[in-house]
Chains A and B, each alone.
Chain A
Amino acid sequence: MIQTDQLTYWKNNTSDTVYVLNFWATWCGPCVAELPEFEKLNENYKDKNVQVVLISTDFKRNLENEVKSFVEEKKLKSRVVFLNEPRANDYINLVNPDWSGAIPATLIIANNKGYQRFFEKKLSYEELEAAVKAAL
């Protein structure tokens, strides 16, 4: 479980790690459809200091029965965290001021290179990889 302070940490992080934060939910069709691309990216780039974090915005009451079982069923290898922060208005602008709050959304952070790239849409592997390569 994470909260807004963890998002702030990633947003401001200046280490060499490239963070790929993906906001998703188990019930969100396009989110689930693009997860394999993030898994593939995670597999191909984890030795290149790229950390994929899949951030679930599911309702808290569904954490045990929906989120955990989804993760197990899909055998997700990327790091999966649950965003325990019901006041979305408090963190949406922090992630990106142009984010409307719709998911899926992805933020790629490489502050040591002065690079942040935000997407409010479902991504193809090509788009995702291109954005990550630009950060490396």
Chain B
Amino acid sequence: MIHFLASIAMTAAVALGGPGHGYHVGDKAEDFKLKNVDGKMVSLSEIPKAKGYIVVFTCNTCPYAIAYEQRIIDLHNKYASKGYSVVAINPNDKEVKPDDSYENMQKLAKSKNYPFVYLYDETQEVAQRFGATRTPHVYLLDADKTVRYIGAIDDNSEDADAVKDKYLENAIDALSAGKTIATTETKAIGCTIKWKKTN
């Protein structure tokens, strides 16, 4: 009975554009072309020698995104030379959250010397297609752009030193070794994506 009522509530949430939409593990992701902080348009296919893609929906302001910022930089530095680049995407609407504007993305990327592309999903189409719901939210794609892992970077947002399970790294390591990914989906607390009022 509880499950039945719960699934009605769930259906209502999905119908309003809530969670439940988007890619699942095993789906093939469509490529996209978004503006990077350097003004150039970037698509996944343009990344040379890619063995996979670490797509991270993140933003300038969310405390969880900020807590993970260094870890995202470290991930790119560790894995880009192995063929797995971080592709960071800001999906937030600047009318709803002014500090998540493109100009602030540029300032942040410059001040922290981001080694990865930081793209602006201005229409929020890419975030909706992926089904991203919060920041940060990670989608690991393989060379064919098939989604192989979705969710959190690790098991401790607040304290990088107290991390016990590096979910994303484990997934990338398994993927690059041709092994099965043990944990393909995880969840974490994060800030809701700031959808346009018309979306």
Measured between alpha carbons, how far is A27 from B67 in the docked complex, in Å? 13
Interface string of A75-92 (1 = CB under 8 A from B): 000000000001111001
Q: Choose one: A29, A30, A96, A103; the contact of B189 (CB below 8 Å).
A: A103
Measured between alpha carbons, how far is A121 from B19 in the docked complex, in Å? 10
Q: What size tier do the contact residues of chain B reach?
A: 35 or more
> Is there contact, CB below 8 Å, between B134 and A101?
yes
Q: How far is the CB of B159 from chain A (nearest CB, A)?
A: 7
A40 at the interface (CB under 8 A from B): no
B15 at the interface (CB under 8 A from A): no
> Is there contact, CB below 8 Å, between A118 and B6?
yes
Measured between alpha carbons, how far is A57 from B188 in the docked complex, in Å? 11
> Is there contact, CB below 8 Å, between A96 and B6?
yes
Measured between alpha carbons, how far is A76 from B160 in the docked complex, in Å? 32
Interface string of B1-15 (1 = CB under 8 A from A): 110011001100100
Interface string of A2-15 (1 = CB under 8 A from B): 00000000000000
Least CB separation from B193: chain A residue: A102
Interface string of B50-77 (1 = CB under 8 A from A): 0000000000000100010000000000
Interface string of B161-199 (1 = CB under 8 A from A): 010110100000000000000000011111111000000
Q: How many A-B residue pairs have CB under 8 A?
A: 98
> Is there contact, CB below 8 Å, between B189 and A118?
no
A111 at the interface (CB under 8 A from B): yes
> Is there contact, CB below 8 Å, between B187 and A30?
no
By a CB distance below 8 angstroms, the chain A residues around B2 are 111, 114-116
> Is there contact, CB below 8 Å, between A120 and B5?
no
By a CB distance below 8 angstroms, the chain A residues around B159 are 86
By a CB distance below 8 angstroms, the chain A residues around B6 are 96, 116-118
Q: How far is the CB of A54 from chain B (nearest CB, A)?
A: 15
Measured between alpha carbons, how far is A44 from B190 in the docked complex, in Å? 31
B124 at the interface (CB under 8 A from A): no
Q: How far is the CB of A18 from chain B (nearest CB, A)?
A: 14
Least CB separation from A58: chain B residue: B63
By a CB distance below 8 angstroms, the chain B residues around A89 are 151-152, 155, 167, 186-188
> Is there contact, CB below 8 Å, between B187 and A59?
no
Q: Choose one: A98, A101, A104; the contact of B20 (CB below 8 Å).
A: A98
B101 at the interface (CB under 8 A from A): no
A45 at the interface (CB under 8 A from B): no
Measured between alpha carbons, how far is A98 from B188 in the docked complex, in Å? 12
B30 at the interface (CB under 8 A from A): no
> Is there contact, CB below 8 Å, between B10 and A98?
yes
> Is there contact, CB below 8 Å, between B1 and A86?
no
> Is there contact, CB below 8 Å, between A99 and B187?
yes
B133 at the interface (CB under 8 A from A): yes
Q: How far is the CB of B168 from chain A (nearest CB, A)?
A: 12
The 20 listed contacts between A and B (C-beta, < 8 Å) are A27-B63, A29-B97, A86-B155, A86-B159, A86-B162, A87-B165, A88-B187, A89-B152, A92-B187, A98-B10, A101-B187, A102-B134, A102-B189, A111-B2, A116-B6, A117-B9, A118-B10, A119-B13, A120-B18, A121-B192
* Chain A to chain B: the 10 pairs with minimum beta-carbon distance, closest first: A102-B134, A100-B133, A92-B187, A114-B1, A102-B192, A101-B187, A59-B158, A100-B19, A89-B186, A86-B156
